[in-house]
Structures are given as structure tokens and as C-alpha cells.
Chains A and B, each alone.
Chain A
């Protein structure tokens, strides 16, 4: 949950008054004053999201549109992902790369098809990265398509096994969506763009809504019996159990997609031998790492501590002979798995599931085992 230190005054999301009314503890995050938890606390909020439905304010995240007939082709020059063939109405995960193949940001993009006469991609990027991301996108492809930031929109996430029950009560048609699809819906009188996706490993939705309607929408969702407000603290524990990366912790400009075990996000068409192989920043390095996995200097893995001791970010990992072999990038006691879980980078010799390493916690070796992720089974609604 790192964000650059700044002396600039904190921004508020359109739901700030609601957070305070609900008794949230507000903290600075990505330049915004954000709710880290509500009075029920992180553990209860985590469990509520896994068993019912949680409402998250993620309005700090950056929303933008890429508009024009060449938008998809242009966006492919920035990310190692198949944009051109993404069907209308579908969403995909992407990675903005720098010229060394390092990850500038991770993002979601959605093909909205033709909107107001123009092919349109809707993109969501991380809050802490959005200013630099939009400048980068504008500088690299601003000649090929319109780059349209959407600072007048809030973003809410409704996550959990009962999210569909709660949302479909207000807009029955959302129940027809499957994972990574979406569309336009009117919910509680608000003009919403809804995708069936999220960052908790649970079924759920993300809802983009005009800022002026966000409070109305949030109150309508919180009025549903399944729904409680959830802070950033539980968002972090939920996403870690789901094996999902936090930008700035688990991936950054020094990590490439193969090192970050994100090859699944690079479709075959963009890989060596594919019809549109390469053609993205850092392609030479990234494709060589995919083709020769043994060349990787390190790899992101999941880790479970074998003693009940949380192992946090920046904790050194050693082999049994005391050699440094890596570092933890995120770690906590997973509330659902009820075990200390982490992710981190290790040298390839220790990357196989079942490998044993030692985490050095306050000078003491805590044994950990490399484990497959996610730590909790994904429960996306794939239809």
C-alpha cells in the first residue's frame, strides 16, 4: 500500500462525506484521503466480502477512454496484449511496459465498440500511477487516437458471492453478465457502466458512474441487506489471498511480466511466432524471457509460512544455508486461509511449488513453502 510521499493536499473522492458518516478511518493513499477500514474492522470486512457482498470506493483509480478507429492498434504498441481481437463487450487485463520491459502499471481495458460514432476502449489504471500513465499514453499514441481522461467519474466495486443478488435487485439485467464482460445499465437512477470483474477473487462488479451520482448509487447499494462498506485494508488482504499483484509492491518498473509470472496476460498472437509478435516496448527482452524461462533472474511466487508468523513486505528470503535468494513483496495473515501468506521474488531454483525457503523475521528464520496461487479458490462467474 505504498504511495509516493507528497506534500500536496489530499484529494477527496465523491464518496468522502459518506465514508466519514459511516465512521471510516481515513488514510492518505495515492494522493487521496481513502477509507482504510470502517468500524467493523479489517477482519470482519474481509470475511463479509468472502461470504456476502462488500462495497469498495476505488474512485482514486484512473479512468480514461481511447477513442478512434486506430485506438486498438495504437494501444497494442504500449502493451504486450491482444487488443485488436478483443470482442466488443469484453474486458481484459493489460500491462503498460517501458522500453526495458519493466511494468509501468497494470490495468484493465474494455472494448465498448462504437460509441457516439467512434470505436472506444475504456481503460482503468492504478490511482498512484494515473497521472504518469495518461501522460505516457498521450505522448506515445496521442497522434493515433484521442486519449480522454474521465476525472468526472467515480468507480465503485461490489464484490462477493451475494454481489449479483444485491445488484440484480436494482438492475436485473446485470445477472446476465459473465466474468470480464460488461455494459451500460441504469441503477437507482444513475448512469452506470458495469463490468463483471474485480480484484478480490470473488464474483462481483465494478461500476463507473458520474461523480455527481456516486453518492446516490453507493447509498442505494448499501441499502441492500447483503452489502457492507469495505476499506482498503481488506481490499489488500482479499487481493493477496486471490494471488493478485499490488502495483508498487509486487510489480514495478524493475520487474518484467515473465519475472512477475504474468505470462498468462500475453496472448499467443503477441509472442514469438504469433501473427502480431512483439511490437510493444521491451519486446526483445520480454519475449526472450518467455522463450527461455531458464534465463529469468527471479520469479514471483506465492509463499505460505509454516509457523503462524506474518511475513511482511521487504522481508529477506534465504536458502537453508543462509544465502539470500529473494524478498517478500506482500505478506500478511490471510483472514480466510487463516495462515500467513505472502508473495515475493525468488531465484528460479526456488520457484517450484513445494520449495522450502527461510524468511528472516526480526532476525529469526521463519520457514516458508512456495505455494501455488491463488491461496483461496477464485470464484469468478464464468457462466
Chain B
């Protein structure tokens, strides 16, 4: 299992920990509603776990996108910048936000697995 979830409703897939993929969860995009804008970090920037790395704005609200894990941004999803609705239509796939070179894999282990997140989101 290479995908885990943060309490801030991001997912991270470390199948490639040199370029772990981060996005927002199905629950997050559902709570936000139609996403109309994303602000993505600059490639090469390094963030600590919990830092604000981006912004997602829906028709209803703006929300910060937090780093689920410490690392350096190695790629951002330009297709998402051009078509923010991908965050709604395919949040776990084409709607990914950015990729991170993970600096501390132990942080990944502390994130929630899918059943734990499902329970967490149900009560959020």
C-alpha cells in the first residue's frame, strides 16, 4: 500500500519516493464543491510537513493545501492549473497537485491508511 492520507485531507502516493504524488481527497473536493482555481508551489521549493504549499479555491471557499510530508517540490500538475475542475472529476488521478522528493519516509508511516482516513473523514 503506497497511498496514505493526512488529517488535512491530502493524499500522498510514495510509489516513487523521489517523486511522491500529492492531491486532495474525494472528501475534500466534495466538501469544497466545484474547484475553479489552484495555486501550485514553485518547483525546487522545499517545505516542511504541515507547511502551506498551495491553495485550492472552489466556487464556495478557498482552502490551503498543506504538505502531508516534508520534501522538495519536483513537479507540479500544469494540466490542473489549466483545468482546476480535474480536482473534482478525478481527485486521485488526473487531478493531482504536485510531486515531492520525500526527505523523511518515517513521516509517511505516521499518516492514515485508507480505512483510518475513511473513518476520520466520516467524522470531519
Interface positions of A (Cβ within 8 A of B): 36-37, 41-43, 233, 237, 308-310, 312, 332-333, 335, 340, 362
Contacts and interface: CB of A to CB of B under 8 A. Distances in A.
Interface string B54-92: 010101101000000000000000000000010010000
A6 to B, nearest CB: 21
Interface stretch (B30-38, B42-50, B106-114): B30-38
B62 A332 contact: no
B57 A43 contact: no
The 4 closest A-B CB pairs, nearest first, are A333-B36, A43-B34, A42-B59, A310-B57
A370 B37 CA distance: 22
Nearest to A42: B59
Contact of A312 (B33, B39, B62, B88): B62
A310 B33 contact: no
A42 B34 contact: yes
Nearest to A307: B37
B60 A42 contact: yes
A208 B59 CA distance: 29
A41 B37 contact: no
B37 A362 contact: no
A332 B55 contact: no
B43 to A, nearest CB: 18
B37 A237 contact: no
Given A41-B33, A41-B34, A42-B34, A333 B55 contact: no
Contacts of A362: 39, 55
Contacts of A312: 62
A372 to B, nearest CB: 23
Nearest to B82: A308
Contacts of B37: 308-310, 333, 340
Interface string B15-46: 00000000000000000011011010000000
Contacts of B34: 41-43
Contacts of B60: 36, 42, 233
Contact of B59 (A237, A308, A309): A237
Nearest to A41: B34
B14 to A, nearest CB: 29
A3 B59 CA distance: 18
A362 B37 CA distance: 14
16 contacts: A37-B33, A41-B88, A42-B34, A42-B59, A42-B60, A43-B36, A43-B85, A233-B59, A233-B60, A308-B37, A309-B37, A310-B37, A310-B62, A333-B36, A333-B57, A362-B39
A304 to B, nearest CB: 15
Contacts of A332: 36, 59
A43 B35 CA distance: 10
Contacts of A309: 37, 39
A43 B62 contact: no
A233 B57 contact: no
